Structure 1
Amino acid sequence: MSDNDRLAQLSRAGVSIWLDDLSRERLTSGNLAELIRDKHVVGVTTNPTIFAAALSNGEAYDEQVRELAARGADVNAAVRELTTTDVRNAADVFRDVYTATGGVDGRVSIEVDPGLARDTGKTVAEAADLWKTVDRPNIFVKIPATEQGLPAITKTLAQGISVNVTLIFSVERYRAVIDAFFAGLEQARENGHDLSGIQSVASFFVSRVDSEVDKRLEAIGTGEAMALRGEAAIANARLAYAAYEELFGTQRWKDLAEAGAAPQRPLWASTGVKNPDYSDTRYVDELVVSGTVNTMPEKTLDAAADHAEFKGDRVSGSGAEAQRVFDKLSAAGIDVADVFRTLEDEGVEKFDKSWAELLDTVTGQLDKAKG
C-alpha cells in the first residue's frame, strides 16, 4: 500500500487528518500546501511548545521581528503578532479545504495564553481578542479543559466563536466539556447566532496517559501490574467515545442539532508514541472511527503513511471492554483519579513553561534587532 493509499484509507474511514505543528518555514516553503495535497492533511493544531520551537529555529521570523522592534513593540505584543500572523496565513492556505468541507475542516487552532488556564474571565477575553485579531472564520481558539476553563468554553461559544477544547484527560472531565459545549450553543442560540457557523472539537490526550500509568505500573512491579502496561490510553479514549455516543444521543443534543448545530467532534491528541517498545502508529491504528480527528506530529504522520495497519473501526461499541481495563488498573493499585489530576497539572505547567521560553526567545530577538 502506498503512502497516499494508507492516508487516503484513513480519510475515507471518516478520520480527519490534522498536523500537530506550524511554523513560518512550513508556510513560506510551500510545505503545508504539499501536505494538504499529498498527505490528506485537512487541519493544523498549534500550542505554545510548537511556537517556541518555531521561533527559536532559523531566520524565518527575522524580518517581522525587525519591523516590530522598529515600531517599539513590547514582547507580549510581538508574540501576539508573530503567532497570529502564522495562524492567519495558515488559515488562508486551508481556505479551500474549509469551503469544500462546509466549514468542518480546514481549521487552524491557536491557544490562549496558558498562564490564564485557571482564570475564567481572562480566558474569555483573550479568546475573543484572538478571534478578532486573526479574523478568519476557519480558526479554532484553544481553551484548556481546566475547572475554570469549562465556563470559559461556554461563554466563548455563546459569542459565536469556534473552540478547540484542549488538555482533556479523563472521561469525567470530558463529560463536563460536552455539557459546557451544549450550554454554549444554547446561549449562542439565545444570543441570535447561527449555530451552523459554530464548530468545536474536544482534544482528548492519548499517549501521555500511557506514559503516566506505565510509570506507576512499573513502580508497583507485580506481574498483574506489568501485564497492563500500554493498555490505559487506548481504553481511556474508547471510554471517551462511548460517552460521546451517549451524550450526543440525548434529546438535549437533538434539539440543538435541529437548530443547525454541528456536533463537537472528538479529537485524538498527543498521538506521538513516547515508548519505543510500542508501535509508532498504535494511536492511529487503534482509534479509527468516523467523525473524529487525529492530530499528529509530522513524525507520526510519516509513520502512518509508511506502515500504518488500519483494522477498521475498533472504537465503537468498545466501552464495556475498555471499562474492564480500568477495573484491572484500579485492582492493581493505580489511583486513576490522581493520574488525571497529575496529567492536567503537568499539561498546564508544560505549556506555561513553553510560553515563558517563547517570551524569552522573542525578547532576545527584539533586543538583537534593536542593535
Structure 2
Amino acid sequence: MSTPTENLAQAGVSIWLDDLSRTRISSGNLAQLIDSRNVVGVTTNPTIFATALMDKNDTSYDEQTRELAAAGASAEEAIFAATTQDVADALDVFRPVWEATNHVDGRVSIEVSPDLAHDTEGTVASAKELWQKIDRPNLLVKIPATKAGLPAITEAIATGISVNVTLIFSLERYEEVIDAYLTGLERAHSADFDLSSIHSVASFFVSRVDTETDKRLEEIGTEEALALKSKAGLANARLAYELFEKKFAEKRAQDLIALGANLQRPLWASTGVKDPNLPDTLYVTQLVAPGVVNTMPEKTLEATFDHGEVTGDTITSTYAESHEVMANLKAVGVDFDDVTRVLEEEGVAKFIDSWHGLLESVAGVLDAAR
C-alpha cells in the first residue's frame, strides 16, 4: 500500500515543507521527513525564522548568539548569520535529493529582507549577498512579486541566481512574473550562462484568497454569494496553471527551453486551511497536476499523509468551471482585482511586521547575552 504522499509525488507534485529550524535539522527530523513523507524541499520566511529563533525551549542558537553578541553584531547581522547557516545546512541535507531529481528538487528558499519589497536595487543586492554567502547550487532566493520586485527577478535570473517568486495573488501579476523570468533567461543566455543551472518557482498563495473573498461574500450575504464561498482560492490557482501551460507553450519560452532553460514551476503556498469547516487537505488534493510544487505547513503535511485522497490530476479538467467561478464572483459584486491588491499589500505588510518583530527580539537577546 502506497501512502497519500507517495501518491502525490507519483502524480507529479513536489512536496515541500513550509518550515525550518536548527533543531529540525540537527535532530534528524528533516531527513526523516524526506524518507517517510516524500518531502523534497523547504520554504522559509521571516515568520518561520522568528518562531524558531525565539523558541525559549530551543537552545540550538545559544552558542552562536553568545559569539555574535561578543563580536558586537547588530540584530540584522545576527539574523543573517543564523538563517544563512540554517539554510546552508538544510541544503546539504537535501543535496542527495537535488542530485536524484536532476537538480529540479532538493531546494531550500530564503527570502530577501521584507523591508526591500519596494526597492528594486536593494532587493538585487540582497539576493546576490544571500546567493554568495550560502553558496549552494540548490538554493532559491525568494523575491516578492511586487512591482519593484519584477525587475529584481529579471536581474537575479540574468546573473544566474535561482529564484522563488513569492506573494503572487493575481493572474495579471503572474503573467508579469513569467515575463520577468523569461527576460532574465534571455539576458542570461546573452551573458553565456548555462540556462540549465537556473531554476525558478512562482509561488501562488491559495488560502488567503478564500479568506478575503469569503469575507466579502458574507458581507454581500445573498444566496448566490454564499454559494461561492471557499471556491475562489482553488479557481484562481487552477487558472494560474492554465496560464502556465499557455505561456510556456509559446515560441518565446520554447526557444529558451531548447537552449536548456527550465520551466518556472507553479508553487502552491498558503495551503493550510484557515476555515475549520473545510477539509484540512483541500488545498493539496484539489491542486494536483504534473510539475507543481505544494509547500505545506507540517500540520497539513501530516493530515495529507494520514488521510489525503489523491485521485490524480484535479486541475486541468476544471478550467471551464474555474472561469465560471470567477465570472460568478464578479456577477454577485466581488471586485477580485481589489481582493488581490489588498492581499498583496497585506502580505508585504505582514512580512515587514514579522521582520521588525524579529529584529527587536534578537536585539533583546543580544543585549542580554552581552
TM-score, structure 1 as length reference: 0.98
Report the alpha carbon displacement of residue 357 of structure 1 after superposing the two structures with TM.
1.2
Gaps of 5+ in 1: none
- Alignment partner for residue 6 of structure 1, among 4, 7, 10? 4
1:313 corresponds to which letter in structure 2? D
Partner of 2:267: 267
Give the superposition deviation at 1:317. Answer: 4.0
Partner of 2:319: 319
The Cα offsets for residues 246-285 of structure 1, whole Å up to 9 and x where unpaired, read as 0010000110001000100000000000000000000001
Q: Does 1:56 align with 2:54?
A: yes
User: Which secondary structure does the structure 1 equivalent of 2:228 belong to?
Assistant: coil
What does residue 66 of structure 2 align with? 66
2:21 aligns with one of 15, 20, 23: 23
Mapped to 1, the partners of 2:193 and 2:64 lie a distance apart of 36
Instruction: Tell me the residue number matched to 2:104.
Output: 104
> Match of 2:140?
140
SS in structure 1 of the partner of residue 353 of structure 2? helix
Secondary structure of the residue that 2:73 maps to in structure 1? coil
Q: 1:281 aligned to 2:272?
A: no
5+ residue gaps in structure 2? none
Distance, in Å, in 2 between the alignment partners of 1:148 and 1:319 is: 31
CA distance in 2, matches of 1:316, 1:14: 13
Residue 360 of structure 1 and its aligned partner are, at CA, apart by 1.2
Paired AA for residue 182 in structure 2: F
Q: Does 1:92 align with 2:92?
A: yes
1:242–1:318 contact (8 Å) kept in structure 2: no
Distance in 2, Cα, partners of 1:319 & 1:249 = 17
Shift of 1:28: 1.1
CA deviation string 1:98-150 (max 9, x = no partner): 11111100000000001100111110110000000111111100000001101
| Rounded Cα–Cα distance in structure 2 between residues aligned with 1:20 and 1:110 | 11
CA contact (8 A) 1:20 1:45 kept: yes
RMSD: 0.8
**Deviation, structure 1 residue 310:** 1.4
How do 1:200-279 and structure 2 match up within 5 A? 200-279=200-279
Q: Distance in 2 between matches of 1:360 and 1:89?
A: 25
Shift of 1:342: 0.3
Q: Which amino acid aligns with 1:62?
A: D
> For residue 78 of structure 1, what is the aligned residue in structure 2?
78
Cα distance in 2 for residues equivalent to 1:219 and 1:242? 30
Looking at structure 1, the residues matched to 311 and 100 of structure 2 have their Cα atoms a distance apart, in angstroms, of 28
Residue identity matched to 1:308: G
CA distance, structure 2, for counterparts of residue 172 and residue 120 of structure 1:
20
1-structure distance, mates of 2:353, 2:166: 17
State the Cα deviation string for residues 46-72 of structure 1 (Å, max 9, x = none): 001100111110222111100111111
Letter of the 2:19 partner, please give it.
Answer: D
Do the aligned partners of 1:145 and 1:177 also contact (CA within 8 Å) in 2? yes
Deviations 1:276-325 (A, max 9, x none): 00000000010010100000000000000001111211111422221110
SS in 2 for 1:141: strand
SS in 2 for 1:354: helix
Alignment match, 1:45: 43
Whole-Å separation in 2 of the counterparts to 1:36 and 1:161? 25
Residues 187-231 of structure 1, C-alpha deviation per residue, up to 9 Å, x if partnerless? 000111000000000000000000000001001111111010001
Contact 1:49/1:351 (8 A) holds in 2: yes
Q: Which TM-score applies when normalising by structure 2? A: 0.98
d(CA) in 2 for partners of 1:191, 1:75: 37
Shift of 1:75: 1.2
Counterpart of 1:32 in structure 2 is 30
